[in-house]
Amino acid sequence: MAERDWMYSGWQRGRPTCSWIERTKEFLDFAFSNHNIVQYGTIKCPCSVCRNYFRHERGKVELHLCQNGFKENYRIWTAHGERRDQQQQDFEGFGETDDMDGMLADLAAAIPSISDEEPTAAAQAFYGMIANAEELVHDQTKHSTLSATARLISIKSQYNLSIACYDDIVALIQELLPADSKFPKDFYSSKKMLEGLGMPYEKIHVCYKNCMLYYKDNRDKQKCDYCDTPRYVDGSNKIPRKVLRYLPITDRLQRLYAHEQTAKMMRWHEEAPRSMYGTMDHPRDAESWQQFNVDFLEFAKEARNVRLGFATNGFTPYSITATSYSCWPVFVIPYNLPPGVAMRLENIFLSLVIPGPEHLGKFFGVLMQPLVDELQELMKGVETWDASLKQKFTMKATYLWSIHDFPALGMFAGWSTHGILACHHCLGDTNAF
């Protein structure tokens, strides 16, 4: 591991050194010599932008590495033909894409120092969960209670194991462990341990034709008010015809402030110096951001209030040759963060999974209702703990922009993007023929 510190230290004055370039060429020679890794003359690009998600030819990979450097914590080249030895595997416990140890180190650093003000209940639950990051399952292992539990629940989800199966596996593990081990005894105990993460989700029943949600005042209705379609499958034991998955964003936004370093970055848009050349380096430099500050002065006065962007599009979860099916994930992006951080995968929150298989058309707004309702509550404000300033504040959040292709824009904005009035800038004043 120490021998590969050159991957991150071989830069001077923002440029790679000659030694770094030579060693990087040795890395590329190693990767392209492994025929199991190379596909059609390409390998996975390990730069800090592509992060092994995209494949390129050698010249482009070399260019990306010189421009962006290697992705973080990639001293073991698992995506390029290298295998972990048993000692490293026992210590780290996970593959390169599941950096539990790094995450736990970050979590341990999030525990706040003593202050005159008590954290909120949600923050206290989060810090209580973090305490398990340092508690070992037993004295003869390097796995913490939190890491072992999180990994086992991840396996349950990946292989779709039942709760009964999970409990039986845990019972066997308990028999193999010493009597004084701290490992949870069943699925319920495991969930209680991880609930401090603040990641609940709701299943909301939907009319099969997307006319309405069985939500709030309509929660107990048995058929659709608009098309009379029954809520449940005929002859079933209360099996809904269609289900919308909703993951609230409030807890996840509050968790950004529960970590001291992230809480500081959430104020970056206000505190960081702006470009002296008048360029737009961040959405804060846009005219619409500045106009929002003028129109909503009270919101703009608090730098910790969150500006959000949405992104959505149709997604086919199965192969193209399989049965046609398309669902619509809706992602939420906090734009307070610096440019290099805001669009990282870990800072893009999945909020809704809108079920298919039919095209949503004009009913897209109906299925966005839970997220819209939560945004209305967030505009009123929720009490949040700021770990960087060691104080509570009222956090508000608002939606500014959305990212779509043109057809998705038509559904999201409720404006037809085809025909005579297709232009969403000209609207009714278009000169199309």
Q: What is the mean pLDDT of each run of 10 residues along the chain (433 residues)?
A: 75 78 90 83 86 85 88 83 52 38 49 59 66 68 77 85 91 86 85 72 91 91 90 80 92 87 90 79 90 93 94 75 76 91 87 84 88 94 89 93 86 81 80 74
Structure tokens belonging to residue 93: 């416990």
Q: Is 330:355 a contact under the CB 8 Å cutoff?
A: no
Where in 127-218 does DSSP place strands (E)? 202-205
Asked whether residue 11 is domain-assigned, the answer is: yes
| 320 and 412 assigned to the same domain | yes
Contacts of 151-157 spanning 24+ positions with Cβ under 8 A: 151/93, 151/94, 151/98, 151/100, 152/190, 153/190, 153/191, 153/194, 154/98, 156/187
The closest alpha carbon to 332, from 224, 256, 411, 417, belongs to 256
> The domain containing residue 361 runs over which residues?
261-274+283-429
Task: Out of 45, 80, 115, pick the residue that ends a domain.
Answer: 80
Task: Please give the pLDDT value at position 86.
Answer: 35
Sequence-distant (≥ 6) Cβ neighbours of residue 299 within 8 angstroms: 292, 305, 396, 398
Give the type of residue at 153: I
Task: Please give the pLDDT value at position 213.
Answer: 94
Rounded-to-integer distance, Cα 234 and Cα 236, Å: 5
| 410 and 270 assigned to the same domain | yes
| 179 and 33 assigned to the same domain | no
How many domains does the chain contain in total? 3
User: Phi and psi (nearest 5°) for 60?
Assistant: -75, -35
Asked whether residue 8 is domain-assigned, the answer is: yes
Q: Is 245:203 a contact under the CB 8 Å cutoff?
A: yes
| 61 and 192 assigned to the same domain | no
Asked whether residue 226 is domain-assigned, the answer is: no
Task: Please give the pLDDT value at position 260.
Answer: 83
Task: Please give the pLDDT value at position 267.
Answer: 93
Asked whether residue 206 is domain-assigned, the answer is: no
| 269 and 385 assigned to the same domain | yes
Rounded-to-integer distance, Cα 20 and Cα 26, Å: 10
Q: Is 424:408 a contact under the CB 8 Å cutoff?
A: no
Q: Give the predicted TM-score (pTM) of the model.
A: 0.66
| 32 and 125 assigned to the same domain | no
Give the type of residue at 180: D
